[in-house]
Amino acid sequence: MAAKAQRTPRRTDALSKERIIEAATEILDTDGENALTLRVLTTRLNTGYGAIYHHVANKSDVLAAATDEVIARVMTGVVIDAPPREALRAVALGLFDAIDAHPWVGAQLSREPWRPALLEIYESIGRLLDALHVPERALFDAAGALVNYVLGVAGQNAANARALAHGEADRSVFLATAAAHWSQLDPDKYPFVHKAATQLREHDDREQFLAGVDIFLAGIATLR
């Protein structure tokens, strides 16, 4: 083998923000949120810090851009020519599934809500609520409520994924442990939580999320 030149030659496969975000997304998806460091990113891309920072402002920028990408893909992929109510459920489920598949998106949405991803979500939900004939004066509040509910669930998903990432075997074990903990609480001090332990163990996140959406939609229907 020829001796390596004093400096590695200029790469031919041009670096770009897209390529950086793509690599970041892969790392985030396979190894979780805190596995994404600039060092890992440089290794993965066979480059150095300078090259990356030339295309990208900082680490938050990478995370935000990756989030925007995921969300944009969801929002364009959802069928919106269904009846508004069904479309709303579809949008919500689409978001849930995307965040379930990429839990780091959930954390990011709460962390920097002013970036484009949330705008897309607001727009889509607001427009559908309008189609549902929610009165104009209530539209803003209703959209805010629904978006915040989605964000709350998103954050929880991200937290659970983080907990599962290190230790904690798998999800059913995790839930069983939590449920056992709940059911051991003093029924006099914690009657509700104690009773809910069973449902905690058996519940399906996705179905519960949808049940919440339905509750909100029912509440919104009373506004008309």
Partner DNA sequence: GACTCGTTGGATCGTCGCTCCAATACGCTA
Partner DNA sequence: TAGCGTATTGGAGCGACGATCCAACGAGTC
The contact set with DNA (CB under 7 A) reads: 5-12, 14-15, 36-40, 42, 45-51, 53-55, 58-60
The nearest distance, CB 51 to DNA, in angstroms, is: 4
Shorter beta-carbon distance to DNA: residue 55 or 111: 55
Q: Please give the C-alpha separations between residue 222 and each of 76, 78, 90, 113, 211, in angstroms, as whole numbers.
A: 29, 26, 21, 29, 17
38 binds, among DNA, its own copies, none (CB under 5 to 8 A by kind): DNA
The nearest distance, CB 223 to its own copies, in angstroms, is: 7
Shorter beta-carbon distance to its own copies: residue 62 or 142: 142
CA–CA gap between residue 182 and residue 195 (Å, rounded): 8
| Site for its own copies contains 80 (CB under 8 A) | no
CA 57 to chain centre: 22
User: H/E/C letters for each residue in 48-81?
Assistant: CHHHHHHHCCCHHHHHHHHHHHHHHHHHHHCCCC
Long-range pairs for 174-183: beta carbons < 8 A, 24 or more residues apart: 175/200, 175/201, 176/201
Q: Which of 149, 165, 183, 201 forms a contact with its own copies (CB under 8 A)? A: 149
Q: Which of 155, 164, 175, 201 forms a contact with its own copies (CB under 8 A)? A: 155
The nearest distance, CB 17 to its own copies, in angstroms, is: 22
The nearest distance, CB 181 to its own copies, in angstroms, is: 8
Shorter beta-carbon distance to DNA: residue 47 or 124: 47
Reading the block at residue 153, the tokens are 């669930």
Q: Please give the C-alpha separations between residue 28 and each of 32, 53, 170, 216, in angstroms, as whole numbers.
A: 5, 19, 18, 32
Q: Are residues 103 and 158 in contact, defined by beta-carbon separation less than 8 angstroms? A: yes
Name the one range near its own copies by CB under 8 A: 30-38, 59-67, 85-93, 205-213.
205-213
Tell which residue, 52, 48, 1, 57, has the closest CA to residue 22: 52
Residues 95-124 that bind its own copies (CB under 8 A): 107, 110-114, 119, 122-123
The amino acid present at 129, given as its one-letter code, is L
The nearest distance, CB 110 to its own copies, in angstroms, is: 4
5 binds, among its own copies, DNA, none (CB under 5 to 8 A by kind): DNA
| Site for its own copies contains 180 (CB under 8 A) | no
Q: Which of 44, 59, 89, 127 forms a contact with its own copies (CB under 8 A)? A: 127
